[in-house]
Structure 1
């Protein structure tokens, strides 16, 4: 669908460009100086080599590789199911931590290409719910994550590579700080300890300050 849209937009752009370059009947009849002095590029265009045709077989092969789930997607699928979380949060550097419980349910969607996670818990005595989508981009060779929840109206986007030595993904991205209205960078480390245990660590840099740890969730699969 995106490819069809690009082709359609390109066609419209070429049509508009052609209309803008063509002289009007009135200006041609009056011998408009600007039009008359415009160099004739017809011969030049005619002698230019045509663009090579698209290799449809190569294009389809590349697209097939891009859309086919691989080992990284199988790794995400292995996390399907219900997880209980022990949440520890720090509201400021050096502040005493607060603890709570959370529940996460993972499932693969769109033919095993993305992991959808639904999160529920509490925050500041209020019900909390969020949703994340995690995928692996076969072209960029990185994991990509999006996050939305009922405590905001924005979308957090992050991406990061897999580290086989530590069995972890380090996501980096930016988010809006509601207190200042400015974006601040964040870092999230997701460690796959074993088949039944995971750990998520979140680090923020509010207002460009020194990075500090804001959250840790220890997950246990049920």
Structure 2
């Protein structure tokens, strides 16, 4: 009997790539508020688990920014019909009470997704937020996020280099 597209993806596709990330990770996060001006560097820890029958992974992390503790969660999946990675992201610093939804393409060693954020109190124009995940090897990943102005200019906002614990 032929395998379903999901079963095949777990064997040698995007879902297998996501499952390879399961485990405990420790790293260093760098944060920029202004282009090319490093504002903070601090330790970060993450736990990645499989959820909903290996359809998604939950990426739970904690760290600090300018001495204040924060935590976050990403639910990451691969949308087989549309062939896109998808993420929902919440955290106690950047997102406030919002949930960012992002989607995007596979890269040679991970993915790149884009979402939008904003607030009516700061104007109606939304900013973009591009997140990339690079799988360097089985024990190292790099999670990088870029602010994207309404005009399309990108500036690195955060970068965490994680190593498997």
Q: TM-score, normalised by structure 2?
A: 0.85
Deviates more, 1:77-86 or 1:206-215: 206-215
Does 2:148 correspond to 1:205? yes
Query: Can you give the 5+ residue segments of structure 1 that lack an aligned partner in the other structure?
Result: 1-63
Contact 2:40–2:65, Cα closer than 8 Å, also in 1: no
Name the CA shift for 1:96/1:162 in 2 (closer, same or farther; >3 Å): closer
Name the CA shift for 1:82/1:76 in 2 (closer, same or farther; >3 Å): same
Query: Can you give the 5+ residue segments of structure 2 that lack an aligned partner in the other structure?
Result: none
- Give the 3-state SS of the residue equivalent to 2:75 in structure 1: strand
RMSD of equivalent CA atoms: 2.2
Equivalent residues in 2 for 1:65-214 (5 A)? 65=4, 68=7, 70=9, 71-151=13-93, 152-164=96-108, 167-176=109-118, 180-181=122-123, 182-206=125-149, 208=151, 210-214=153-157
Contact 1:120–1:128, Cα closer than 8 Å, also in 2: yes
Distance between the aligned counterparts of 1:216 and 1:74, measured in 2?
24
* Structure whose residues are more often helix by fraction: 1
- Give the 3-state SS of the residue equivalent to 2:98 in structure 1: coil
Distance between the aligned counterparts of 1:213 and 1:66, measured in 2?
35
* Structure whose residues are more often strand by fraction: 2
Does 2:150 correspond to 1:219? no
**Post-superposition shift, 1:132?**
0.6
